[in-house]
C-alpha cells in the first residue's frame, strides 16, 4: 500500500499552479532569506510565523514591481484611454495567493518554502483580509479590478484606505457582537504610500460670485495621501493600480488661531480631520445620512478627480510639463465609472473644476462631464437610495449645492420642453425632493450627469426601466443598459478550488481560465463515467477539508456524507434567511415525527454579518443560533440534521465554504436582489442552486437549463399582483399546518425555553408587516427542498446536473462583464495580448 500523499505533494501535482523550475525555486529561497534578514531584520532563530509570511509576501511582491513599473511606463508611451473605477468599497480579501496564481508562482513558492522547512498554507493563513467592503458591491469592484488587468485595460481603482474595515463578527451566547477590524496592525506588505501625489480636499466655507467667476473661500483643508496596491492580470505581465486615499491633517491644522495653551489641543484635534478615512460604514443596502459619510464620499471624489486631471494634462512618461489643455478631449482619454451613487459627487465636482477653475463655459463643461461619466445602479430597495438633506450640503459643500441647483434648473427645462404641462413628471424627475426636509436624490443626479446607466442583471435592468427610473427611461432610453455581474475565475476557481480546476484542465486544457466560455465544452463529458467520478471526488475532498475546519471551530461533529446546504450573504430581510429557518424547523419536525424514515442527511450552514444598527437582522442571527442549539443536541435527530451559523463570514471563509457546498440557497423575494454574485461562485464550484427567479438566477437557469436548478416561488409579476391585491400572512398560517407549527414553536419559546418571548417581534413582523412575503413562498420552497432531497440520494444524476451547471458558467466571468463595459460604455477595446516580461529583459 503506498502511503497517502502529503498536502504538499498533492499540491505539487496540480499543473494550474505553475511550474516549479529548479532555478526559480533557488532564487525564491535566496530572496526569501534576504527579505527575512534585510527587510524584516530577523534571524531565523527568532523569526515568527508572521515574519515568514512577510518574507514570502515581499519575495512575491518583488516579481510584481518590475511589471508594475513597466505597465505604467507603457501606458504613458501609448497614451490609451484610461478608465477610473470609483468605489467607496473594495472587498479584496487576501492578496498573497491571488498574486502567486496570476504570476504562475504558486508551485515554485510552495517548493521553496517546503525546502526551507515551512508550510506555505500556514504562512498564507497569517495574512489579514483587506475587508474594505460590506458584501456584493465591494467584492464586485475587486473582481472587476482583476478582470480589467487581465484584459489589458489601462484602469485604476480609486477608493478609501479605511483604517478599520468591516467589523469582525463574534457570536457570544448566540448574539452577534462586533469587534473593530484593525487589519493594518502588523502592516500591509502590498501597499506603497505615495506622499508625492498628496492632494488637498476642501470642505465648508462659502461662495463669492465675482465678475471673473465663482470662488469657494474660507474652506477647511484635509490632505489626501494615496496608497497604491498593484493589481496583476492573469499571466499577461500587466499590473494595474488600485489607489486608496488616506486622510491627513495639514501641518498648520488648527495652529493658525490657537491661543496660549491651545497648542496641545490643536495637535490632538488633527484626529478630527483624519477621522474621514478611519472606518468603513457597515451598512449593506441601507442609507444612513451622516455628515462623516458625505465627507468620505466627497473626499474620495475630490482627490481622485485632481489625480485624473493631473494625469490628463501631463504628456509622455517622466515629463512634468503640461501637454494637454483642451478639455473637449477629456472624454476621449478618460472614462469614469461610478459604482453606485456613493461617488455621485464626481459629477458636480467635475463641473466645479471645469467651470470655476478651468474656466470652461457651462454647456461645454456639461457635455464633457456627461460623456465622461457613467453610473451603475445596484439596488431598487427604497431604503438604500441616497437622499442627502440640502441643509447638510449647504453647510459642508456650498459650491456643489449651487452647481446641483443649476444642473437641476437646466434639467427641468429640458423635461418641460419634452413633456409640456406635465407638472407631476417635473416633481418626480427633479434632483431635489421637496416636502418636509428638502433632499438631493443622488440617483437622479447620476442619471442626468451620465451618458450610460446600467443595472447588474437583465431582470434588474428591466425593473429599473419599468419602475424606479421609468420617467428617465422615457426621456432618454438610449442611456439605459444592462451589464450582468460576473466573478473572477482566478480567485473563485483556480485559487479556491484547484482540485476542480485541475479536473477541468485535464479534459479541456487551461485556456478556460482566461476564456470561461470554453467551459461549454464540458457538456460532452456529462455522461463520461470517469469525469462524473472525478467531479464528485473533488467535491468530497473539499467537504472533508471543510469538515475538519468546522469541527475545529464549532466543536460539532460533522457528517461529511450529509448534503452541505449553504446560505452565506449579508443578513437582510429581503434575502429571507427566515425562509431558510422555516425549512430547517419543518425538516426537524418531520424527522421527529418519523424518526425511522430514511431522511436525506443535511448540514445546513448560514453565515453573514448584520449591520450593527439593524435590529431585525441581529434577531435573525439569534434565531438561527437558537434553532441550532436545539437541533444539534437532539439525540433523535443525530447526524441527520445539523445547523451551523458560520461566524465572521468574509472573503477568506467564502473561499473555504463555497468549494465544499452541495446546495446554494438564493431565495430572495423576486425583484429584490439586483444580481447576486455568490450564486455564480457556488455554480462554478459544483453546487446546485435552490432559488427564486430573481437577479442573475434567471440568467443562470437560462445558461445551465432550468431543469438543472431548483427554481421555486413567485415570479416578479406574481409579487406585483400580490402587492395590488394585498398579502395576508394569516391565510398561509391558517392553511398550512407545518408552517403554523413552526411559527408557534418560534413564538412559544420552543427554541428558547428560558426566554419564551424572545422572538415575538420576528413573529409579529412575519404575521403582520412582512414586506418580503416569506409565507407566500413557503409551501413551494418546502416542496422544492423535497425534490433536492430525492435527487441527492442519486449521486450520479446529481453530479450530471452539477456538470451542466459548471458548463453553463462561461457568461458569469467578470471578464465578459468588463469586456462589455469596455466596448459598450467606456469606448475601450480589451486585449489578451501579453506585455513583455521585464524580468526576462534584465
Report d(CA 604, CA 590) in Å as an integer: 16
Q: 376 catalytic, yes or no?
A: no
Query: What phi and psi, each to the nearest 5 degrees, are found at residue 212?
Result: -90, 15
Count of C-beta atoms within a 10 Å radius of residue 197: 16
Q: 677 catalytic, yes or no?
A: yes
- Which grid coordinates belong to 176? 452577534
What is the DSSP code string of 291-357? HHHHHHHHHHHHHHHHHHHHHHHB-STT--SB----GGGHHHHEEEEEESSTTTTHHHHHHHIIIII
Interstrand relation of 175-179 and 168-172 (parallel, antiparallel or unpaired):
antiparallel
Task: Write the burial class of residue 632 (CB in 10 Å: 0-12 exposed, 13-18 middle, 19+ buried).
Answer: middle
Q: To the nearest 10°, the Cα dihedral for 51, 54, 59, 62?
A: -140
Instruction: Please list, in sequence order, all residues whose beta carbon lies within 8 angstroms of the beta carbon of residue 818, skipping any fewer than 6 positions away.
Output: 144, 147, 148, 151, 153, 486, 830
Q: Are 53 and 60 in contact (CB under 8 A)?
A: no
Q: Are 428 and 471 in contact (CB under 8 A)?
A: yes
Q: 728 catalytic, yes or no?
A: no
CA distances from 837 to 15, 23, 230, 413 (A): 21, 17, 16, 55
Q: Are 166 and 117 in contact (CB under 8 A)?
A: no
Instruction: Please list, in sequence order, all residues whose beta carbon lies within 8 angstroms of the beta carbon of residue 449, skipping any fewer than 6 positions away.
Output: 344, 347, 348, 369, 370, 373, 375, 407
Task: Write the burial class of residue 476 (CB in 10 Å: 0-12 exposed, 13-18 middle, 19+ buried).
Answer: middle
Instruction: Please list, in sequence order, all residues whose beta carbon lies within 8 angstroms of the beta carbon of residue 756, skipping any fewer than 6 positions away.
Output: 748, 749
Q: 840 catalytic, yes or no?
A: no
Q: Which of 95, 677, 689, 752 is catalytic?
A: 677
Q: Which of 570, 618, 622, 816 is catalytic?
A: 570
Report d(CA 821, CA 453) in Å as an integer: 11
Report d(CA 785, CA 590) in Å as an integer: 13
Closest Cα partner for 443 from 458, 456, 457, 454?
Answer: 454
Q: Which of 17, 490, 681, 773 is catalytic?
A: 681
Residue that the C-alpha cell 493631473 belongs to: 310
Task: Write the burial class of residue 824 (CB in 10 Å: 0-12 exposed, 13-18 middle, 19+ buried).
Answer: middle
Q: 769 catalytic, yes or no?
A: no
Q: Are 49 and 797 in contact (CB under 8 A)?
A: no
Q: Which of 378, 602, 640, 811 is catalytic?
A: 378
Q: Which of 94, 399, 479, 575 is catalytic?
A: 575
Q: 569 catalytic, yes or no?
A: yes
Catalytic residues: 378, 569-570, 575, 677, 681
Amino acid at each position: 500500500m503506498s502511503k497517502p500523499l502529503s498536502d504538499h505533494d498533492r499540491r505539487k501535482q496540480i499543473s494550474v499552479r505553475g511550474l516549479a523550475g529548479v532555478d526559480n525555486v533557488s532564487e525564491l529561497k535566496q530572496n526569501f532569506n534576504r527579505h527575512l534578514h534585510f527587510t524584516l531584520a530577523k534571524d531565523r532563530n527568532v523569526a515568527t510565523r508572521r515574519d515568514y509570511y512577510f518574507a514570502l509576501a515581499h519575495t512575491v511582491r518583488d516579481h510584481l514591481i518590475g511589471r508594475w513599473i513597466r505597465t505604467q511606463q507603457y501606458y504613458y508611451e501609448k497614451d490609451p484611454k484610461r478608465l477610473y473605477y470609483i468605489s467607496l468599497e473594495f472587498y479584496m480579501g487576501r492578496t498573497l495567493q491571488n498574486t502567486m496564481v496570476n504570476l504562475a508562482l504558486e508551485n515554485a513558492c510552495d517548493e521553496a518554502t517546503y525546502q526551507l522547512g515551512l508550510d506555505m498554507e500556514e504562512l498564507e493563513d497569517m495574512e489579514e483580509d483587506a475587508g474594505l467592503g460590506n458584501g456584493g458591491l465591494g467584492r464586485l469592484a475587486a473582481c472587476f479590478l482583476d478582470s480589467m488587468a487581465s484584459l489589458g485595460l489601462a484602469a485604476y481603482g480609486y477608493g478609501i484606505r479605511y483604517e478599520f474595515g468591516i467589523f469582525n463578527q463574534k457570536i457570544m451566547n448566540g448574539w452577534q457582537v462586533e469587534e473593530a477590524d484593525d487589519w493594518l496592525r502588523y502592516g500591509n506588505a502590498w501597499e506603497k504610500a505615495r506622499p508625492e501625489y498628496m492632494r488637498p480636499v476642501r470642505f465648508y466655507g462659502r461662495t463669492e460670485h465675482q465678475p471673473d467667476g465663482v470662488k469657494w473661500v474660507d474652506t477647511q483643508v484635509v490632505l489626501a495621501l494615496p496608497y497604491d496596491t498593484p493589481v496583476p492580470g492573469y499571466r499577461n505581465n500587466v499590473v494595474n493600480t488600485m489607489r486608496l486615499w488616506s486622510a491627513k491633517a495639514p501641518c498648520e491644522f488648527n495652529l493658525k488661531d490657537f491661543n496660549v495653551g491651545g497648542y496641545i489641543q490643536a495637535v490632538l484635534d488633527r484626529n478630527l480631520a483624519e477621522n474621514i478615512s478611519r472606518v468603513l460604514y457597515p451598512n449593506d443596502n441601507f442609507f444612513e445620512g451622516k455628515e462623516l459619510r458625505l465627507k468620505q464620499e466627497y473626499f474620495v471624489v475630490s482627490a481622485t478627480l485632481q489625480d485624473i486631471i493631473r494625469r490628463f494634462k501631463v504628456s509622455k512618461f517622466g515629463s512634468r510639463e503640461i501637454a494637454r489643455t483642451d478639455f473637449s478631449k477629456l472624454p476621449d482619454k478618460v472614462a469614469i465609472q461610478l459604482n453606485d451613487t456613493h461617488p455621485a459627487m464626481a459629477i458636480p465636482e467635475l463641473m466645479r473644476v471645469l467651470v470655476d477653475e478651468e474656466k470652461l463655459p457651462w454647456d461645454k463643461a456639461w457635455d464633457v462631464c456627461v460623456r465622461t461619466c457613467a453610473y451603475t445602479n445596484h439596488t431598487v430597495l427604497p431604503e438604500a437610495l441616497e437622499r442627502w438633506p440640502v441643509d447638510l450640503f449647504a453647510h459642508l459643500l456650498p459650491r456643489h449645492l449651487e452647481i446641483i441647483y443649476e444642473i437641476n434648473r437646466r434639467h427641468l427645462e429640458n423635461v418641460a420642453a419634452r413633456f409640456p404641462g406635465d407638472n407631476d413628471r417635473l416633481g418626480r424627475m427633479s434632483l431635489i425632493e421637496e416636502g418636509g426636509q428638502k433632499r438631493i436624490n443622488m440617483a437622479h443626479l447620476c442619471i442626468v450627469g451620465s451618458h450610460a446607466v446600467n443595472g447588474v442583471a437583465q431582470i434588474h435592468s428591466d425593473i429599473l426601466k419599468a419602475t424606479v427610473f421609468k420617467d428617465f427611461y422615457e426621456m432618454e432610453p438610449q442611456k439605459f443598459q444592462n451589464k450582468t455581474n460576473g466573478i473572477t475565475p482566478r480567485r473563485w476557481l483556480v485559487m479556491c478550488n484547484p482540485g476542480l480546476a485541475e479536473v477541468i484542465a485535464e479534459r479541456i486544457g487551461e485556456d478556460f481560465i482566461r476564456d470561461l466560455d470554453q467551459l461549454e465544452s464540458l457538456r460532452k463529458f456529462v455522461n463520461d463515467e470517469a469525469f462524473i467520478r472525478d467531479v464528485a471526488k473533488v467535491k468530497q475532498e473539499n467537504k472533508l477539508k471543510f469538515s475538519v475546519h468546522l469541527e475545529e471551530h464549532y466543536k460539532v461533529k460533522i457528517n461529511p456524507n450529509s448534503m452541505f446546504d449553504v446560505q452565506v450573504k449579508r443578513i437582510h430581510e429581503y434575502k429571507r434567511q427566515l425562509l431558510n429557518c422555516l425549512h430547517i424547523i419543518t425538516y426537524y419536525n418531520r424527522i421527529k415525527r418519523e424518526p425511522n424514515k430514511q431522511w436525506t442527511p443535511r448540514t445546513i450552514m448560514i453565515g453573514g454579518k448584520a449591520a450593527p444598527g439593524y435590529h431585525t437582522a441581529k434577531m435573525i442571527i439569534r434565531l438561527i443560533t437558537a434553532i441550532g442549539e436545539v437541533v444539534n443536541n437532539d439525540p433523535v435527530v443525530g447526524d441527520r440534521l445539523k445547523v451551523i451559523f458560520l461566524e465572521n463570514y468574509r472573503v477568506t471563509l467564502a473561499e473555504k465554504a463555497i468549494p465544499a457546498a452541495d446546495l446554494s440557497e438564493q431565495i430572495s423575494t423576486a425583484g429584490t436582489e439586483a444580481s447576486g454574485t455568490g450564486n455564480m461562485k457556488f455554480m462554478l464550484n459544483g453546487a446546485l442552486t435552490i432559488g427564486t427567479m430573481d437577479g442573475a438566477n434567471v440568467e443562470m437557469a437560462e445558461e445551465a437549463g432550468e431543469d438543472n436548478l431548483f427554481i421555486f416561488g413567485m415570479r416578479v409579476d406574481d409579487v406585483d399582483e400580490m402587492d395590488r391585491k394585498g398579502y395576508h400572512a394569516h391565510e398561509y398560517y391558517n392553511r398550512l399546518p407545518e408552517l403554523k407549527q413552526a411559527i408557534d414553536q418560534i413564538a412559544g419559546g420552543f427554541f428558547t425555553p428560558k426566554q419564551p418571548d424572545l422572538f415575538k417581534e420576528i413573529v409579529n413582523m412575519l404575521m403582520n408587516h412582512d414586506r418580503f412575503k416569506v409565507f407566500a413562498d413557503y409551501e413551494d420552497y418546502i416542496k422544492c427542498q423535497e425534490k433536492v432531497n430525492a435527487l441527492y440520494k442519486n449521486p450520479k444524476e446529481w453530479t450530471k446536473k452539477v456538470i451542466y451547471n459548471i458548463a453553463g458558467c462561461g457568461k458569469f466571468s467578470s471578464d465578459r462583464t468588463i469586456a462589455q463595459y469596455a466596448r459598450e460604455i467606456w469606448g475601450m477595446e480589451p486585449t489578451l495580448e501579453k506585455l513583455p516580461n521585464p524580468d526576462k529583459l534584465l
